[in-house]
Amino acid sequence: MKDIKHFLRQNSLRPTKQRVIIANYLFDGVNKHVTAETLSNKLLKMKAGISLATIYNTLHDFYEKGLLKKLMINSERIYFDTNTEHHHHFYSKKDQKLIDINVDMKVNGIPKPPKNKKINKIEVLVHLDN
């Protein structure tokens, strides 16, 4: 991402110092899965003293603009995904790590949803052992 400020403005987000730092990290071209905590730790290493409240605010602001996906993998924390394409995941509980599955996968044999309900999206989570 060359012009982060422009990118933020395009998405109706004021390019504040904190948002620029966070966006520069998140949208550096490498897809990431972050939690508020892992992001905070990364920012601390970068000597960016951004409060947890702002980290939560920013993740949600980016989510609301469609720049991040929210992943509900477990009940311990919320993951945010910089890959906003429809895709699936490997999940290692042991490592608390997610790995994108970007290749085409097809789920066969889904029954009809209940009356008046429409399928919104299909999420496949492949749990890893080791």
Partner DNA sequence: ATATCAGTTTAGAATGATTCTAATGTATTG
Partner DNA sequence: CAATACATTAGAATCATTCTAAACTGATAT
Interacting residue ranges for Mn ion, rule: CB under 5 A:
35, 37, 77
Q: Please state, in angstroms and rounded to a whole number, the distance separating the CA atoms of residues 37 and 108.
A: 37
Classify strands 97-101 and 88-92 as parallel, antiparallel or unpaired.
Answer: antiparallel
Burial bucket for residue 91 (CB in 10 Å: 0-12, 13-18, 19+): buried
Residue closer to a copy of itself (CB basis): 53 or 110: 110
Residue 97 engages DNA in binding (rule: CB under 7 A): no
Residue closer to DNA (CB basis): 61 or 81: 61
Among Zn ion, Mn ion, DNA, none, the one that 58 touches (CB under a kind-dependent 5 to 8 A) is DNA
Q: How far is the CB of 10 from DNA (least distance, A)?
A: 11
